[in-house]
Amino acid sequence: MKNKEIKILLAAPRGFCAGVDRAIEIVKKSIEKYGAPVYVRHEIVHNKHVVESLKKIGAVFVEELNEIKDKTRPVIFSAHGVPKVVPAEAKELKMDYIDATCPLVSKVHREAENLNKSGFHVLLIGHKNHPEVIGTMGQIPNGSIDLIENIEDVNKFEIKRNGKLAYVTQTTLSVDDTKDIINALKEKFSNIKEPKKEDICYATTNRQAAVKKIAKLCDMFFVIGSRNSSNSLRLVEVANNSGCSEAVLIHSESSIPLEKITKCKTIGISSGASAPEILVENFIKKLKEQFSVNIEEVEIIKEDITFKIPGRLN
């Protein structure tokens, strides 16, 4: 098998985005400043490798604040954002909290709040039970926001209240799927207010565009990421929809389908916004043990965006 030659098209940009970088940095700096343990509500980002490496240096992950025994320790809110009741609960418990919500998610939160204050009923395009969706819906009162997951939901939705309607979107959706839902909304509700600037984040858009560019040239496409990572799952869908007959998510428990790869001439690789580059390197290393590999990186855009961490941690 070693002599079998395989071409790898490596999508760029891939992997960590600025929001993920910032969230991980916030956990590390908090441990440096306050010592261990530092608590983190929910996985800081959706990646097992990242979570395990932060546990090793003193991060303790919980789902809810009431699981924290020592309320004198700081707690960090994950990059996905939290409903308003969470910081309110932390204040009530007199807990010191640090918010690692991605600034692009915070932008959607503020948008939903401002729309609500201006008397709009808000529709959130997103996936049910995703932490980002729970966080955004929790910014404004119950009954003033509805979730739209697909075109069927658009067809079923009827305007309540005063007829003023607006939409926002989860930041990690498929650009193409969202476009179809937005078109359906505009067709049904011609006066619907749209965001000034698209909510889907730059990193999601760039990673999907890079996959789209190379997927049709590949016999198989591999996305390195976690099963609960929305943006990783969307990359698999994008590869499938862009002309690659088989796209596969490689997560922490995956075994590499070497038999199938043997039948390929060209494979594509990308990684979700919460997957560290070491996982891509390890994947390629395993392929090199079996095949003669020729790698070509296909970069569609250079990313140089960074987000500041809270001043108190500097």
pLDDT at position 1 is: 54
Q: CATH number, domain at 75?
A: 3.40.50.11270
pLDDT at position 198 is: 87
Cα Rg of the chain, angstroms: 21
267-282 pLDDT, tens digit each: 999 999 999 999 999 9
Q: Answer yes or no: are the C-beta atoms of 104 and 201 closer than 8 Å.
A: yes
12-21 pLDDT, tens digit each: 999 999 999 9
Show which of 48, 67, 99 is a domain's final residue.
99
Whether 257 is in a domain gets the answer yes
Task: Count the alpha carbons within 13 Å of 111 in the hemisphere toward its beta carbon.
Answer: 24
Catalytic residue among 132, 149, 246, 277: 132
Whether 304 is in a domain gets the answer no
Is 194 an active-site residue? no
Whether 308 is in a domain gets the answer no
Q: Are strands 165-169 and 247-250 parallel, antiparallel or unpaired?
A: unpaired
233-251 pLDDT, tens digit each: 999 999 999 999 999 999 9
Nearest to 105 by CA among 123, 83, 79: 79
Asked if residue 218 and residue 163 are part of one domain, the reply reads no
Q: What is the pTM of this model?
A: 0.94
Residues recorded for the chain: 314
Show which of 171, 200, 229 is a domain's final residue.
200
- Residue numbers of the domain that contains 138: 104-200
Asked if residue 196 and residue 124 are part of one domain, the reply reads yes
Asked if residue 227 and residue 292 are part of one domain, the reply reads yes
Bridge partner residues of 148 (DSSP)? 125
